[in-house]
Structure 1
Amino acid sequence: ITTSLVTDNQKMRKNRLNPLQLSSSSDDKSSEFTVRLGLPPLGILFEEIQPGLQKGVIVVGLVPGGKGEQCQAIKVGDVLKSTSAMKFVSRSTTFDLVEVDCTVLDFDSIVSAIGSNDPKFKCDSVTLSFMRSEDSSDGNSETS
């Protein structure tokens, strides 16, 4: 994960002030938005976009009553663009809140990044940015 971390604390602070941002991209066929949720579990079911490759994850379901569903912004088909995460400084006890680009990571790395948001690091929420295409669903998919 360390090589893919992008430190931009000012951007993360801006996202914390505005929990939901919707904006159209230049092609008007997709949009991006950011949500701030409580700490995991989030109730969002992710699946790798291309299994076995570091291409990111897509939302395949929302747990009824979970934080993801309750925010009313996330839909099946949304692609996770980035997440907040804690970055540890090597050979130190310091850490920074950073934004991680999820489009270049595998499932396990993304789940680890999301899970690093922990109250022991004075963190009380997770900030997630998503990309939505016209194909995103309004409904929840069935879970097994």
Structure 2
Amino acid sequence: MLASLIRSAITISFAMSFVGIDITVEAFAPTPTPTPWRQPSALSAVNGIWNTGNDFGKGKFRFYDGLEPYMKPFPDEDRQLYPEMFRLPKGVYEVPLARPCGILFEEIEPNCGVYIQDLVEGGNAANQGVLQKGDVLVGVTAIQISGAKWERRMIPARKFGFDLVVSAIGSNDEKWGCNNVILMVERPDEADREETDKFLEFFEPPADTPWKLPV
């Protein structure tokens, strides 16, 4: 299905309209650095998980509801060639949460990454039992819209600022068929950041993907 070439580094150059503010996607999604060719370590996204152009809003990958069901359409061949893409990296956790999440986020740097500063006692995140103080947000589901079409995607979030995080979480609304928001976090004392970032490249949007959150 997609067992072909190593996924090319993506140059993101389009603008994103976000709650009335025009910002470039570089503000929250870093452009991958090209690396010398080596044995493929990620599935190609060509004709794969990213629906672009007229295909946006269609297909098997239009609604992210967890890594396991999301990767289910791929054949056994891909699972054998790229086993690292069918499981979360060590020290990375995927947590579905009802809203409100009950999480206090703090920016790592101004408008550049957030971590969990605290969990609200008795809140959904605290009751879920996986998330911990100090976990770094590296991915979040968000609704993308283009005209009358929409998709729910897992978006790499290592470069999200606080406001982007809040708005991305808030886009997971019932009117889009969402009964939760899915957070992907990295636990720094357990994870290999390089491995995590390589995994997240698979979810980077290509340049011709519409990117607008519902207001």
TM tier, shorter chain? 0.7 to 0.9
Q: Which amino acid aligns with 2:156?
A: D
Q: CA deviation at 1:93?
A: 1.6
Asked if structure 2 preserves the Cα contact closer than 8 Å seen for 1:16 and 1:127, the reply is no
Q: TM-score, normalised by structure 2?
A: 0.50
- Within the alignment, does 1:36 sit opposite 2:87 as a pair? no
Instruction: Show the counterpart of 1:15.
Output: 67
Structure 2: gaps (5+ residues): 1-14, 17-24, 30-48, 51-60, 71-86, 191-215
Runs of 4+ more than 4 Å apart: none
1:111 to 166, 171, 174: 166
Which residue of 125, 128, 139 corresponds with 1:68? Answer: 125
How many Å apart are 1:134 and its aligned residue? 2.3
1:86 corresponds to which residue?
Answer: 143
Superposition deviation, residue 15 in structure 1: 2.7
Answer 1 or 2: higher relative contact order, Cα 8 Å, separation at least 6: 1
Q: Following TM superposition, by how much is the alpha carbon of 1:23 offset from its aligned partner in structure 2, in angstroms?
A: 4.5
C-alpha RMSD of matched pairs (Å)? 2.6
Larger CA Rg, structure 1 vs 2: 2
Segments of structure 1 that go 5 or more residues without pairing to the other structure are: 25-30, 136-144
Q: Which amino acid aligns with 1:33?
A: Y
- Classify 1:62/1:112 alpha carbon distance in 2 versus 1 (closer, same or farther; 3 Å): same
**Under a length normalisation based on structure 1, what TM-score does the superposition of the two structures give?**
0.73
| Superposition pairs of residues 88-103 of structure 1, within 5 angstroms | 88-89=145-146, 92-103=147-158
Distance 1:11 1:118, change over 3 A: closer
Structure 1: distance between partners of 2:154 and 2:118: 24
Residue 12 of structure 1: how far off its partner (Å): 2.8
- Whole-Å separation in 2 of the counterparts to 1:95 and 1:16: 22
Give the counterpart letter for 1:72 in structure 2.
G
Separation in structure 2 between the aligned mates of residue 17 and residue 36 of structure 1, nearest angstrom: 13
Structure with the higher fraction of residues in strand conformation: 1
